[in-house]
Chain A
Amino acid sequence: MAQIISQYGMILLRAMGQTLLLALFGLLFGCILGIIFGLLSVVKNKVCNAIALVYVNVIRGVPMIVLAFFIYIGVPYAFKNYLHMPLVFSALTAGTICLALNCGAYMAEIIRAGIQSIDVGQMEAARSLGLPYWRGMFRVVLPQAIRNMIPSIVNQFIITLKDTSILSVIGFPELVNKAKNVVAITFKSFEVYFIIGLMYLIIILILQQVAKILERRLNRGRRRA
């Protein structure tokens, strides 16, 4: 075990860095997509609702590994052969798109549910005072909804972080991908997978602690969470 750490520790740590980088990009764009499609699903407009519904259902209905192959291999193939335009994604780009699309769909659902959990009277009161819909949304409804959403959002962050491991299949040099290489060289599968399992666990425990502190700060001065 010690030998693996001393010899391959840096490689694995760097791979962890790549994992975190990918997760960060995925989460960032995933959150943006989630907010956009989450809001599209609550506004009073059938076209917007339909767009959000299709997006969420398509992404939820397709395994991420299929999505990854489709974006990384399928889409560039289609561009080359059918559109006669060269298009090549780096593994990071394809991975980010894939993670963001996936994370975005689940975030959209979390945001939709969070907004709908707030009593409609809150928005009606805001509107009755003359506030436009979006002001009411951003000043009154969303601040309350976000408080309710935090546990689900943290959960989704963790899932997305772990989902980066799926992107080892498109050759992105994240933790699982590198670990497989190390196993191939050393044959120490038990030690290597144990170590990277531990690395994921530590990162996620840290993430949970940060979330807990954040949640506590948001609930300051309140009797109930």
Chain B
Amino acid sequence: MAEEGRNIKIHVDNLHKSFKTNEVLKGVSTDIYEGEVVVVIGPSGSGKSTFLRCLNGLEEITSGNVIVDGVNIADKKININKLRENVGMVFQHFNLFANMNVLRNLTLAPVDLKKATKEEAQKTALEMLARVGLSEKVNELPENLSGGQKQRVAIARALCMKPDIMLFDEPTSALDPEMIGEVLQVMKQLAADGMTMVVVTHEMGFAMEVADRVLFMDSGIIMEEGTPEEVLRNPQNPRTQDFLSKVLEI
């Protein structure tokens, strides 16, 4: 759904990534536009999480280019920390800082990186907590929260840095079924607010409803891409068809 004149937020060009001798990404190229919601699906081991982790430099790029807001991550001379301030990430296992309460989780990075004073950061944190519906948990420790609550706090934490791009790495895969909905709801709201999002997920319903574009990855390449309608309802590639039949028949 790339319209003319929209800004490219992330330009991925022939991205390769190997772990020792194991080549996980074998030349991935795509553009992600401002305000676009891109959902990445594919079997496990297809490289979709690695692809996502290359977008903020959590994985070192073996070759190719990833240009985020005009900055090439593959370039070792750039300040990767500065870039990450604008790219929020949400992990499968939440990764809330276990030694801090919810408020400290949300204010640590903004205050430490001097993006805000302590008071400003706390104000933002409370706003973001309200946005994910967890205002009353402000002083809790992560261990006292349910999985769904943890993930919503994790989203709020990323949002406190006021990023223009959000990456989601299987955000609901570690959750009990009854908690998936609350997290997807927050993500839908975020999408509706115009956030640029790249989401690795197995939630086909979410992809169908929220995605502007779906990428199907397998064996380290993008096998098929298009609107959710095209990829999920009418897949052309036999691998996509095979994957979807397995996912949807259960």
**A residues touching B (Cβ–Cβ < 8 Å)?**
119, 121-122, 124-132, 135, 139-140, 143-144, 147, 221-224
Contact = CB atoms under 8 A, between A and B. Distances in A.
A121 B95 contact: yes
A128 B165 CA distance: 12
B113 A130 contact: yes
Contacts of B99: 140, 143-144, 147
Mostly, the A contact residues are: helix
Contact of A131 (B58, B113, B141): B113
Contacts of B87: 128
Given A125-B91, A135-B112, A223-B143, A130 B84 contact: yes
Contacts of A131: 81, 108-109, 112-113
A93 to B, nearest CB: 39
Given A130-B109, A139-B112, A222-B143, A125 B95 contact: yes
Contacts of B157: 125, 129
A71 to B, nearest CB: 39
Contact of B95 (A119, A143, A147): A119
A139 B108 contact: yes
A140 B97 contact: yes
A124 B98 contact: no
A160 to B, nearest CB: 27
A139 B99 CA distance: 9
Nearest to A118: B98
Contacts of A132: 81
B232 interface: no
A127 B58 contact: yes
A122 B91 CA distance: 10
Interface in B163-215: none
30 contacts: A119-B95, A121-B95, A122-B98, A124-B58, A124-B95, A125-B89, A125-B91, A125-B96, A125-B97, A125-B157, A127-B84, A128-B58, A128-B84, A128-B87, A128-B88, A128-B89, A128-B91, A129-B85, A129-B158, A131-B108, A131-B109, A131-B112, A131-B113, A135-B112, A140-B97, A140-B108, A147-B99, A222-B141, A223-B144, A224-B143
B56 interface: yes
A140 B99 CA distance: 7
Nearest to A224: B143
Contacts of A128: 56, 58, 84, 87-89, 91, 158
Of A139, A143, A221, most buried by chain B (CB within 10 Å of CB) is: A139
A130 B83 CA distance: 7
B20 interface: no
Contact of B93 (A121, A126, A127, A139): A121
A217 to B, nearest CB: 14
Contacts of B97: 122, 125-126, 140
Interface in B99-115: 99, 108-109, 112-113
B76 interface: no
Contacts of B89: 125, 128
B140 to A, nearest CB: 10
CB-CB nearest 9 A-B residue pairs: A125-B95, A130-B85, A129-B109, A121-B95, A128-B89, A130-B84, A143-B99, A130-B81, A144-B99
